[in-house]
Structure 1
């Protein structure tokens, strides 16, 4: 049994043991499957300057395998991280002036989802995760995460640019209508005073 446990952990599995009357009768190795676009999503986030980390309650071998598969350095990953520890680490990032987005779908992610500046959960997550997240992604695409973070920034830039051009246009139009450009050779709209007598 000991060798089976070691083999399961080294292959990146989380091990669940079953005992009857104090005697070990079975062990199950559980392993998370990566979403097909997870590596692409992480690469995109890194390319636009967003720091990506893994906070996981899983065993170190499992976390390191996932990190390697999606192109992250193992030093940016934390294993054996209970919900309270995730919350503490998020608060520490925020106290250093970082804005934090947290992605999770389990009940143990709920405190971190609530604390993050933006909590993101997949629609397939637990009810507790969905009730504490700010954003719920209905599609099971990991690439929806960078879309969620980047599209609002682009929209904000577009809105600011449009307001700026509209402000300049309106200022020039008002000055033109008021005759402010007449000394520069512009034509003034003729004004005639009428007597009511």
Structure 2
């Protein structure tokens, strides 16, 4: 009877890593770093390096929420949200998560209003991210909150005429998270 070969798992990798010395481990990390921009962004965020660790994550959000319609690019809520999840996995800081979530709302609302988008799924995702942004802002120190609230309020105002109940939902979320402060 033939046995099935299974794909390597994290346990297999972990066992192999245990046998590496410092030089080999550093060489491996260097190879991973040079292998992709995503790995670089992850390591920069994890190690808190560079002037703007959020830049590649914001670029991904912009690409997927405000595509170039003249190049027939599509939107992708999932890929935009993945940028935020990737930053979080990299050990993202609370202020960075708040920034990315607010930025997501700014980009999504800006695109929707500029092109007259009528996509209920896109709007639902934007409203969910609006709520996540409000929650993320709520975890920040009091002194950091007003600037983010101001930006989200601008999003809320911009979305006033979008339809699909977006404005009403944002108003209710705003009242629940900000008006009672």
Q: Looking at secondary structure, tell me which structure has more helix per residue.
A: 2
TM-score (norm 2): 0.28
Report 1 or 2 for greater relative contact order, CA contacts < 8 Å, sequence distance ≥ 6: 2
Structure number with larger C-alpha Rg: 1
TM-score (norm 1): 0.26
Q: Looking at secondary structure, tell me which structure has more strand per residue.
A: 1
